Structure 1
Amino acid sequence: MKIIKKFFSLVLAFSFMLTAMPVQAENADELPTPETKVFVWGKVEAVGTNRIQIINSTEAGNDCILNIGEDTVIIDALTGDPVELTSLKRLDRIAAYVSPIMTKSLPPITNASVVFVNVDKDYRVPRYIKAGEIIETEDEFVRVLSADQTLIATFMKEDTELFAYKTKNILGLDDIHQNDEFIVWYEVEMLSMPGQAVMVKAMKLPEKKQGWHLENDSWYYYRDGIKVIETWIASTGGRWYYVGIDGKMAVNTEVDGCAIDADGVYHSTAE
């Protein structure tokens, strides 16, 4: 009750303050990052090496395959404790925040950022947010606008349990920065635009890979820790590269009628 009273006091005070290729980018490291994650849920159909296939309740009768990378966070929805992929079983209920980019295959494949296990029958789970803007900072609280602009999250010095992923080290308000990512638990959300809530518990996620990375002699492109798949990527000087369904940069091949050389660079329409 104490935290709810504080929440509505803060909301009332703050309400007076409210009033053939992709788009070209100048540099691959500056490609726009999609802030909106897609929320999916369902029952596990199969678990493989770095993959989960679910019977996806987001759309009736639609299966979905989730790629699990080294930066994918898999946690217990109640406690926030890390969970091993191998512990999942067929028909377990899970929920996930995934990339909005999916393959055209059946079932579609996408990259998972966060996976929740130990999910109740109503699929009520914590929420993923990325700090888009630090709106207000005081000694007793920090207020953050999520990057997708759907939530104003208030972190309280005394009433929000703020800790780090895996280590569960206790953090303070000065550990909250723009572009940080969190899993958050809260009780009440004000039905405003954007919504507003006071965090009961918040887990800060580790920083994630960005840009090009060489792994096992192949190049991969990461955006917020997720491998980009099946898309063209622009680089400085107007060079174009393509990454396939496995995330690898294509070399010595042809894609969509475009010739790609040994360095992965698109040159001209293939003859």
Structure 2
Amino acid sequence: MNTTMKKAFVVLTTVSCLMGGASIAAAEQVEIMPISAPITAVPISAPIEAVPISAPVYEIGHSNLLPSVRVYGQAAKIEEKRILLENNNENDALSSVIVNISEDTRILNAVTGMPMKLEDIRENETLYAYVGPAMTRSLPPMAHAELILAGIPADFAVPTFAEIERVTRGEDGSVVIGTNRDAEFAVTADTTLSPYLTMNIITPEMLVPGQKVLVWESAAIDGEQAANVADKVMVFPYGYKGYVSANLDGISVNGDKVELSEGEAPFAKDGQLMLPLRKVAEALGYEIKWNAETRNIEVVSGEDVLYSLKLRGTEVTTADGETRELRAAAALEGGNTFLAADDLIDLNEIKYVEQ
């Protein structure tokens, strides 16, 4: 080893020893800090509560049906089967709409409620129309008219066409009808009740959910409006075979509670509320029969079979021989056949009423 390499080796060795000594010295100076207090467990301030399982979820489609839409304006153009209504309200999404007229459309005088003809409507006359919620995407949109009010005097309070959703009857005989127009009307002893185009006598007891009415509110009293008090109510022919309310707690048909045994209680399945077929049908005045030949359950009114279905079937056959697919397959529970509420409502042509 030459002299230069020896000197380098000595220097490196010396530096290493010095660094090692410094490290040891530093290590010897490290103090272990004592724990000042014992570690204690953190107590749970309150017991953990079990989260309750929510009730089964279901939806009744008939509770979401949209009512007819009220439109108004001047009859800008009158044709054989349609009227173009226009108004000057810039904030009205339907300031211009084509109203289609069919044989089912009622055209009534807004003051008397008596029928009118299309030929009686004058051009530029102000009209109020109640049209179906389904409209075309054309400009202007087109919709079918269920009812048109014409012959409207200036500053006249146009009556409201609505369907009754609920009826509240007081012990004093008072009646308040709630409608699908988000409006309630009090029917008093002074309210005139009249049928549409018949001589039938109408009583407050005949005002039930599903009934379509035309309501004139009372005139001003001492300069003030008697809000939501019906002066006159015109009652149209009933369009349903009855009405039903139902949830997991029970069923009522035409306002009467249906008595159910333990095996007949409603239940939710696959998003549907299932109801006992026999109990609902019998509450409506029908019979349930078993056809041994076809192995069908039949719902019968008198001698007529209204509809029939297989046990646990997914289809139903109506009186005219038409086959429909059910929203949910018929269920057999505890010896009882259950159908989805929406299927029972359609098949029996009844009105669903929220409880």
Q: What TM-score, normalized to structure 2?
A: 0.45
Deviation at 1:58, TM superposition (A): 4.8
Per the TM alignment, residue 165 of structure 1 is displaced from its structure 2 partner at its CA by 1.2
Q: Does structure 2 conserve the Cα–Cα contact (< 8 Å) formed by 1:98 and 1:110?
A: yes
Once the two structures are superposed, what CA deviation does each residue of 1:70-108 show, in whole Å capped at 9, x if it has no partner?
A: 332211111111111222121122112222332111221
Letter in 2 for 1:204: V
For the pair 1:130 / 2:167, whether they are aligned, the reply is no
Relative to its length, the structure with more helix (as a share) is 2
Closer, same or farther: CA 141–54 of 1 in aligned 2, 3 Å? same
| Identity level (%) | 27
Contiguous gaps of at least 5 residues in structure 2: 1-58, 221-225, 242-323, 329-355
Who wins on radius of gyration, i.e. which is larger? 2
CA distance in 1, matches of 2:116, 2:175: 30
Tell me: higher relative CO, structure 1 or 2? Use CA pairs within 8 A at least 6 residues apart: 1
Question: For 1:39 and 1:137, how far apart are their aligned partners in 2?
Answer: 31
Which letter maps to 2:72? W
Label 1:82 to 1:57 Cα distance change in 2 as closer, same or farther (>3 A). Answer: farther
Pairwise CA RMSD of aligned residues? 3.2
Deviations 1:185-204 (A, max 9, x none): 11279xxxxx9622110001
1:95 and 2:128 matched: yes
Q: CA distance change for structure 1 residues 207 and 56 in 2, over 3 Å: closer, same or farther? A: farther
The 1:208/1:108 distance shift into structure 2, 3 A limit, reads: farther
Q: What corresponds to 1:152 in structure 2?
A: 184
User: Compared with structure 1, are the counterparts of its residues 127 and 160 closer, same or farther at alpha carbon in structure 2 (3 Å cutoff)?
Assistant: same
Distance in 1 separating the partners of 2:121 and 2:239: 24
Say which SS state the counterpart of residue 134 (structure 1) adopts.
Answer: strand
- Which residue of structure 1 aligns with residue 145 of structure 2? 112
Q: Which runs of 4 or more aligned residues in structure 1 lie more than 6 Å from their structure 2 counterparts after TM superposition?
A: none
Deviation at 1:123, TM superposition (A): 6.2
Are 1:165 and 2:255 an aligned pair?
no
CA contact (8 A) 2:73 2:95 kept: no
Name the CA distance, whole Å, in 1 between partners of 2:119 and 2:82: 10
Tell whether the 8 Å contact from 2:210 to 2:238 is kept in structure 1 after alignment: no
Residue ranges of structure 1 left out of the alignment (5+ in a row): 1-24, 190-194, 211-233, 239-271
Amino acid at match of 1:160: T
Aligned pair 1:34/2:124, yes or no?
no
Give, in angstroms, the shift of residue 142 of structure 1. Answer: 1.7
What one-letter code is carried by the residue in structure 1 that aligns with 2:131? V
Number of aligned residue pairs: give it: 181
Partner of 1:176: 207
